[in-house]
Structure 1
Amino acid sequence: MPYYESPVDGTRLYYVDHGPATGPVAVFVASAYIGHEMWEYQMLPLAEAGYRCVALDRRGHGRSDAPWSGYDLDTLADDVHGLLDHLDVREATLIGHSIGTGEVVRCLTRHGTARVARLALVAGVSPGVVRSPGTPDGVDPAVVRADDEVFLRDRAAWFAAGVDAFFAAHLPGNEVSPEYVRYLLDRCMSTGPRAAMGIRGVVAALDLTAELPSVDVPVLVVHGTDDTSAPLAGTGERVAKVVPDGTLKVYERGGHGLFVTHARQLTADLREFIDAGRTGAR
């Protein structure tokens, strides 16, 4: 199985590498609690079309080792960059979902553009969704702490209760099968409580306001109108305005789980964005 070691502390991290080795490189970073599996509806068709699709399981997630420490944004971003170094990729498009958008942004601002040509931020919680100096309209930290207590008391019930809102499944066209929901919940529960609380802490502390203006590569921002986890106005719309070269694509009726409900549209938009880099468009 393909593993590499974190450049920070040697944690063994799992990744998948699909498609031709010579194809344009797309590197996927998943949402909280989920491993590389969440990207199946994007990675498979893109790999079959000739793109090299790489995705890692974040520390504590999926098949990666679950150390006690390292659940901070700098370490997680260094883990991503460690994969780029391990595979010696160039001109990569980094694609993050939810908190994964924070990891790919920090990877670029921390390590530069020697290996990264473009960023795609899908249903991102960037620049931050909890109240902070840079995100004054965010959620009250006290509300987050109370939600942490609910999460710790019964993670399984917490995940199950949030499914409808996650997919905006009450809206026409967003139906998701019970079988897929059960599969995704199982994947979420495979992430242990230490890693899960660690990544929740990263979300709670996230404030990328100061560094987004320094992102000097093209950025595709994809966001849904009905994303209750990361409301459009404070996240996707704001990011697209403050990065120097941002393009916003808004999906009608899209929730946080648009990688499933709007899978074909997302895959097509990612392909178009990657191809723009191949033709030299900036």
Structure 2
Amino acid sequence: MGYYIAVEEKVRIFVEDIDPGQGKPVLFIHGWPLNHKMFEYQFNHFLQMGYRCIAIDLRGFGKSDRSWNGYSYNRLADDIRIVIDTLGLENITLIGFSVGGAISIRYMARHGGHQVSKLALLGAAAPAFTKRAGFPYGLTKAEVNKLIEGTYKDRPKMLVNFGDMLFARYVSDECKAWIHGLGMEAFGHATAMLAISLRDEDLRQDLPTIQVPTIILHGKQEKICPFPLGEAMKAGIQGSKLIPMKYSGHGLFYCEQEKLNAELFQFIGSSI
């Protein structure tokens, strides 16, 4: 079932909500510059297991309204809070991929982990996506600036180049075309604005506020969010568990979908 939830005047968020039998809610937050459809292979798995799968399109992406403003992590975390409260969700497992993982971390810090009982971070762009003082990991700000410039000058080409960095293993041309198509569904301005947030936001102070069981699944062959980001998240989130994805780059949701789904299923069903 798909529907819209208003998060502020003239801004509606699209929500895909499938409940095969009053299952425990699992809320998915997608990455840049994709949308909720990227979780197709996780939906296939968890719906069969009886979980309620809910995924949103961040504002400006997928089917959500094309807002001109509102692409800071704070605003996007507030959008998630409104969706959760509108749906009356409780005891949520929150799953965030890439920038969706970063926004999930900000949600946990800004909203005190409201209604979230477990957190899963998949290739998260955190605690910072770009190198800075005291954090020598990630892309350079100049590299992100090229993505932003490419978004405004030749977005299709930028997405092709970015897609080439996504996978560490062979994927079919059809799979690459699918990912490219998801990126093209976004509002170009939103793509650039969220890239600016990726470039500039810093979550190092957010990590210690997380008080729920947390797993971090991160590709060992990452070219976009290098593996040391996963190690930094583990160090910053008390009691968290880091699970290396040996054969994955950034696209671990596809490259190692069976391992990823199995790890998530065990985590969601565990009592920790």
Shorter-chain TM-score above 0.5: yes
| More displaced stretch, 78-87 vs 143-152 | 143-152
How big is the shift at 1:133? Answer: 4.1
Q: Taking every aligned residue pair, what percent have the same amino acid on both sides?
A: 31
How big is the shift at 1:134? Answer: 5.3
Q: Secondary structure at the match of 2:16?
A: strand
* 1:185 pairs with one of 180, 184, 192: 180
Residue 5 (1) aligns with residue 40 (2): no
Structure 2: which amino acid aligns with 1:178? D
| More displaced stretch, 91-100 vs 147-156 | 147-156
Aligned pairs (5 A) from 1:26-45: 26-45=26-45
Structure 2: which amino acid aligns with 1:274? I
Aligned to 2:157: 157
Change (3 A) 1:46 1:5: same
| Structure 1: runs of 5 or more not aligned | 169-173
Q: Secondary structure at the match of 1:166?
A: coil
How big is the shift at 1:146? Answer: 3.6
How big is the shift at 1:161? Answer: 2.1
Residue 196 (1) aligns with residue 197 (2): no
Separation of aligned partners in 1, 2:87 and 2:58 = 16
Task: Provide the alpha-carbon RMSD of the alignment.
Answer: 1.5
Separation of aligned partners in 2, 1:62 and 1:180 = 18
State whether residues 20 and 51 of structure 1, in contact with CA within 8 Å, keep that contact through their aligned partners in structure 2.
yes
Aligned to 1:48: 48
How big is the shift at 1:252? Answer: 0.8
State whether residues 16 and 55 of structure 2, in contact with CA within 8 Å, keep that contact through their aligned partners in structure 1.
yes
What's the CA shift string for 1:99-131, capped at 9, x where partnerless?
A: 001111111111123411111000111001213
* 2:236 pairs with one of 234, 239, 242: 242
Aligned to 1:265: 259
State whether residues 134 and 209 of structure 1, in contact with CA within 8 Å, keep that contact through their aligned partners in structure 2.
no
Structure 1: which amino acid aligns with 2:32? A
* 1:217 pairs with one of 212, 216, 229: 212
What's the CA shift string for 1:230-266, capped at 9, x where partnerless?
A: 0001x11110111012000001121101101111111
How big is the shift at 1:209? Answer: 0.5
How big is the shift at 1:138? Answer: 4.4
How big is the shift at 1:43? Answer: 1.3
Structure 2: which amino acid aligns with 1:2? Y
Change (3 A) 1:259 1:253: same
Aligned to 1:101: 101
State whether residues 137 and 226 of structure 2, in contact with CA within 8 Å, keep that contact through their aligned partners in structure 1.
no
Aligned pairs (5 A) from 1:100-179: 100-133=100-133, 135-168=135-168, 174-179=169-174
Structure 2: which amino acid aligns with 1:42? Q
| More displaced stretch, 99-108 vs 145-154 | 145-154
State whether residues 129 and 135 of structure 1, in contact with CA within 8 Å, keep that contact through their aligned partners in structure 2.
no
Change (3 A) 1:10 1:148: closer
State whether residues 13 and 65 of structure 2, in contact with CA within 8 Å, keep that contact through their aligned partners in structure 1.
yes
What's the CA shift string for 1:136-194, capped at 9, x where partnerless?
A: 444432343244223322111111123332111xxxxx221211211221110111211
Separation of aligned partners in 2, 1:153 and 1:114 = 40
Separation of aligned partners in 1, 2:134 and 2:93 = 27
Separation of aligned partners in 2, 1:205 and 1:60 = 19
Change (3 A) 1:9 1:131: farther
Q: Secondary structure at the match of 2:165?
A: helix
Aligned residues: 271
State whether residues 105 and 207 of structure 2, in contact with CA within 8 Å, keep that contact through their aligned partners in structure 1.
yes
State whether residues 20 and 47 of structure 1, in contact with CA within 8 Å, keep that contact through their aligned partners in structure 2.
yes
Structure 2: which amino acid aligns with 1:24? K
How big is the shift at 1:271? Answer: 0.7
Structure 1: which amino acid aligns with 2:191? A
How big is the shift at 1:11? Answer: 1.1
